Amino acid sequence: MKRAYLDNAATTPVRSEVIKVMINTLKYSFGNPSSMQHSYGRKTRSLIEESRISIAKNINASPSEIIFTSGGTEANNLILRSAVINLKIQCILTSPLEHYSVLKTVLDLSNKYSICVEFIKIKNKGIIDLNHLEQKLKINFKKKILVSLMYANNEIGNLLDLDQVGNLCKKYNAYFHSDTIQIIGNYPIDMHQNTVDFATASAHKFYGPKGIGFIFIKEKNLKKMKSLMTGGYQEYGIRPGTENIYGIVGLSKALNLAYSDLQKNLKKIQNLKSYCISELKKIQYDIIFNGLSNIPNKSIPTILNIFYPKKDHLLYFHLDLMGIAISKGSSCTSKQLKKISHVISSITNNEHFLKKMMPIRISFGIFNEKKDIDLLIDAFKKINKN
C-alpha cells in the first residue's frame, strides 16, 4: 500500500547522512569526554566542541552560547526554571497557545514560588496581541519580567513578529525566551541579529535523532545561569551529566545539512503546501484553515491546520488505514483522543462549531512529494463518500 507521512511537525525521519555519522561515532568514539587525561576522552571532547562550533555558525551565535540538553521539553524547562531561581524572575508573560512544556512549567513555578503568570490576549486567527503585551510590560515594569512566546506555533504554524516582541522586551528591560523548536533547522534565524535572550531546539524536528537538543543563552546571561541539578561541570556547569556524544554529532550533522539546502527546501515545501491548499479547496470549497497556516510569510511553510467538517473521532485512524499519517495537533496531547487541543480551543470560541468539526494538522517535510498530497486528497474524497 502506498503511504504518505505528513506529520513532520511531530517528528521527522532521520537523514541517512546523520545515521552514518552517528554509527561511526558509536563505533570509534567511546571515550568519556570528561576524561581529558587520555586520547580517547580528548577525541570525544573534540567531537562535542566541533559540533558546538558548527551549530553556532549555522544560527549565527557564539559556541559558548550553545548548551546541549535531552531535547525541547528539557530545554524549555531548564530556561524557565533557571530564570525564576537564578535570575529572580517575578513575573512571566506568556500566551495560552504555547507548548505544554512552557504552559505547565510556568503554572508549576507560579505555585511553587508565588510568581505572577499573566497570559497575553489572542486576537483573531491566533495572532498574539502585542498591544496587550506592552500593557502588561508597563503594568509589571517594576518587577523582573520574563516574556515567553514561541516563534512558530507547533499546531497552527503562526509566525511571531520576533523583532517587535524583542524590541518591547528591550524597552521594558524584560528577558525574552522563545520556543524556537519548530523554527531551528526549518527556517532562517540569526541569534545575533534578534533580541532573544533564550531559545530552544530539538534535533528530531530537523531530520536528526530524538533525545538531543540545545539551548541558546545569550552571552550576557551565561554567568547568571546555574545548574538546577547537582553533579559535574559539563555544559559550562549549566547542564551536568555525561554528554550524549553520538546524539550531539547527529544533531550537528542534521543542522548543517538543513541550513546548507535551506532555501531550496523552503521553496519545495511552500510549493507543496500551496498545492495542498488548492486541492483541499477543490474538494471542500468552504474549508476552514486554522490560524494563519494558509497564508505565506505569516506562517511557517511546514505546517497547515484545517477543520474537517465531520465529527468522527476515528478519522485519524481511517486515514492511517488508507496510508496517511497526519495528526490532530501536538504529539504531546495525542493520548487525549476526544479532546480538542488547547491551541484550537483558544482560537475558536464557538463550542457548537467545535462539536461538528475535526482539527487536522498536515505538516510537510523535505522527503514529501506532490504524490503524497494526492494520496491525502484521494483519502478525503473516499471518506466524504461514506
Is residue 91 part of the annotated active site? The answer reads: no
> How many CA atoms, within 13 angstroms, populate the side-chain half-sphere of residue 80?
32
> Which member of 91, 116, 276, 332 is catalytic?
332
Name the residue with cell 525566551.
177
> How far is the C-alpha of 7 from the C-alpha of 181, rounded, in Å?
15
Residue 220 CB partners (closer than 8 Å, separation 6+): none
Longest Cα–Cα distance of the chain, Å, equals 70
Instruction: Give the Cα separation of 42 and 37 in Å (integer).
Output: 8
Active site residues: 332
